[in-house]
Every structure is written in C-alpha cells, then in structure tokens.
Structure 1
Amino acid sequence: MKINWGTGVVIAFGLFMTFILYFVFEVQSNSKYDNDLVVEEYYKHDSHFQDEMARIQNAHDLKERPSMYYTAEGLLITFPDTFVSEKIKGNVLLYRPSNKKFDFNTSIVLGGNSLLIPQTKLIKGRWDVSMEWQYNGIKYLSKEVIYVN
C-alpha cells in the first residue's frame, strides 16, 4: 500500500496531537508535577494591593532601614539602633518559590536589635523574604530575595 504526502501529513498531525494530549493529561493527573498557584486566594490578595504598596513606600521612606542578609548562622535581620526594639512588632514570611511545603512564618522577637533565623530552618536555594512590621503605629513591609548556599 502506497501512502501519498497528504495522508502522511494527516498521520503526522494526528500523532503530534496525540502526544500533546497525552502530555497535558499526564501533567494534570500526576501528583509529582506541582500545579499550585503562587498565591492562595489570588483575588483576595489583589484587593489589598494598594495597602501593600503604601507599607512598602513607608519602609522605603525610612532614613535608616532594616537590613537582611544571609550568614553562616542563618538569615540575620538587623534593625537600626534608632529603633526601640520593644516597640517593633510583626512577622517574617519566608517563601520558597520552588516548593510551598518549605514556606514558614516567624514572629519578630528581637535579641538586641537583630533577629536570627537559624540555618537549620533554611534549605539551599532561593528564598523570598517578606517582613511585615509595625513601629509607633506605622505599618511597614520590606521584601528581599536571598540565596542560601
């Protein structure tokens, strides 16, 4: 039986469509492929966007800002000496973009003017750090990206 070029194109197109459909169904049904959204309740999060921008602007307008950097002991967050550490309240969210199972939240409890998140809580790779804090009734939001080696 001889197959002409038109039949060959139709067969190739059909095989390609079958492969793509198989791939789509495999990714959607297999639990090893994570299809989670970046943010749970996306629309609810979006409605608070303007408030978030105001808190980021408040943090940006500070003359002396808190600093976040990674050391051998872990993530060190240091507030300037001009802040009274007892008046600082808030929490730090560490978000792991590659896997939400490693995300965690910790309250800001300062020892002196710094907070140390120990190395044992951090795995290697990228972390998005979001620190929401309040000082003298003003709300602030600081965001950083750190890389753990």
Structure 2
Amino acid sequence: MPEDKKSAKGWPIGIAVFYASFVLFLLAALFLTAMDQDDLVTKDYYAAEQRYQEQIYRQQRTRALHEKPRLFFSDNEQLLTLSFPEEFPAASVSGTITFFRPSEADLDHTIPIELDDSGVQLIETAQLQKGRWKVKMLWQARGLEYYQEEVIVVR
C-alpha cells in the first residue's frame, strides 16, 4: 500500500513538469521564429516578377524559332563557337553572353555578342576553370528579345 501513495504523489509533479516543458518549448519556438529573418530575395518583388514574365516570353520566342542559334564547344581547342541562323543577319543581332558558374559566383562574367559577317562568333574558353558552366545568351533582333541557355562542361 505505501507504493500506491508514492505513485499517487508523483503524478501531479509529472503534470507540472509536462506543462513546464510545453511552455518552455513554446517560448523557444516563439524566440526562434522571431529571430528568423524572412527577407525577400528582392525588395521590389512585383517588378521582379514582371521581369521574370518578360524572361518567359523571351524563352517562348526562342523555342518558336525554326532554327535556333547553336553553341558548339570544343574542349580540345578550348573554343566555343556561337553561330546564328541566316534568318538573323549578323548586323541586326546584338546582346550578351553570360558565363554562369553555379558553384562559384565570383567566376561569372559577361561578354557582348559580336558576330562576324557569316553570323559566327568564336570565344576562347582557356580562361574558364574546369567544371560545369551555364552559357546564357540574351539577344535582340528584329525588335524582339530572345533568351537561350546551354550547359557546357570544361575538362
């Protein structure tokens, strides 16, 4: 019988410990969520969304082309060849090529599109570090903007 009295006295302490633990958990959760920064990626997120929609339109225009610009990467020659189809005269094309390194943002760089008379641009890749690169082409022709991405791996 003395054991029943001992276990009967323990349950109020158990309940008190449970409630105290629950309150501490709630306070800790409140503190952690209050300290969490929910900064927006950009302050002008609405304008950024509009720009993103324009990017979608550029990609759709590129997909609708009968013949798209081609990138040919020769690792042996350390040369990237960009060639535009004949429907885009070289003089009417302007834009940029961005070499985007997903693993190291400091290596990203942008160069202008400068086609020769045959619609080709040769780009030396010797300065590119080994690894995966996204080549992002943004160009304008015939009053419209186009966008295309390709992945190359420098070995």
Q: Flag whether TM exceeds 0.5 (same fold).
A: yes
In 2, Cα distance between equivalents of 1:92 and 1:41: 24
| Aligned residue identity for 1:144 | E
**TM-score, normalised by the number of residues in structure 2:** 0.65
State the shift of 1:77 in Å: 1.0
- Tell me, which stretches of 5 or more residues in structure 1 are unaligned? 1-39
Q: Secondary structure at the match of 1:120?
A: coil
Instruction: Return closer, same or farther for 1:125/1:55 CA change in 2, 3 Å cut-off.
Output: same
Q: Does 1:144 align with 2:150?
A: yes
1:121 equivalent to 2:127? Answer yes
Structure-2 residue corresponding to 1:18? none
Q: Percent identity?
A: 32
Q: What's 2:37 paired with? A: none
AA partner of residue 62 (structure 2): A
| Aligned equivalent of 2:78 | 73
Q: Distance in 1 between matches of 2:108 and 2:42?
A: 16
* 1:105 to 1:41, Cα distance in 2 relative to 1, 3 A: farther
Q: 1:41 to 1:147 in 2, by over 3 A?
A: farther
State how far apart, in whole Å, the 2-side matches of 1:134 and 1:98 are: 29
Distance 1:133 1:65 in 2: 12
Whether the 8 Å contact between 1:124 and 1:148 is mirrored in structure 2 is: yes
Q: TM-score scaled to structure 1, two decimals? A: 0.67
SS of residue matched to 1:56: helix
The CA deviation at 1:69 is 2.2
Q: Size of the alignment, in residue pairs?
A: 110
Give the RMSD, CA atoms, in angstroms: 1.8
Structure 1 counterpart SS, 2:153:
strand
Residue in structure 2 matched with residue 51 of structure 1 by the alignment: 54
> Distance in 2 between the 1:59 and 1:128 partners?
17
SS of equivalent to 1:128: strand
Following TM superposition, by how much is the alpha carbon of 1:47 offset from its aligned partner in structure 2, in angstroms? 4.2
Kept in 2: contact 1:74–1:122 (CA 8 A)? no
Moved over 2 A (4+): 40-47
